[in-house]
Amino acid sequence: MDIQHILEKIDGLLKENSQRDFVLQKICEILKQDVYHYDWVGFYILDESKQVLILGPYVGKPTDHTMIPVGKGVCGQVAESGQAMIVQDVSQISNYIACSLHVVAEIVVPVIKNGKFVAEIDIDSHSPAPFRDEDEQLLESIAERIARFF
Ligand code: SME
């Protein structure tokens, strides 16, 4: 995985575009295409008044989980703590919401704006224990770049 190359593509995209959903959709496409072990890539966006996450742009199979309460599943836990979570084997955790039987691992990285959780990048993988520090670095760099859209 060439983090620098992916970030250059995303910086190019951000230079030319300012429409949030368009940018988020393109980021999903770039990530899924460029990283072999990313099988579903999407954004969940916080609805603060209702304390739920709403599914935003994504690529991969459609999911039933278009709304996730804060605290529920991996996504909801990240919304609550504001800390990234890496799950190398989803069968080992209890507070998990299954989207597809093919998913074996998941990484969720928060988007923080002015110190507050606003959204998150969620990635599912069909590969066993696929995530390294570089995945978290890449996704955190992206999260920092897009925080201004929220
Ligand atoms: N697995 C997530 C739910 C979202 S899907 O992966 C798209 C969770 O446990 O929160």
Number of other residues whose CB lies within 10 A of the CB of residue 117: 20
> What number is the average pLDDT over the span 38-43?
98
Q: Which residue's CA is the closest to the ligand 1 atom numbered 5?
A: 99
DSSP secondary structure code for residue 149 in this structure: G
HSE, side-chain direction, 13 A CA sphere, residue 121:
28
Q: Is the pLDDT of residue 1 over 90?
A: no
Q: Please give the pLDDT value at position 133.
A: 97
CA dihedral 45, 125, 102, 44 (to 10 degrees): 0
Mean pLDDT across 67-92: 98
The domains located in the chain, with CATH, are 3-149 (3.30.450.40)
97 lines ligand 1 (CB under 6 A): yes
How many Å lie between the centroid of ligand 1 and the Cα of residue 76? 9
Report yes or no on whether pTM surpasses 0.95. yes
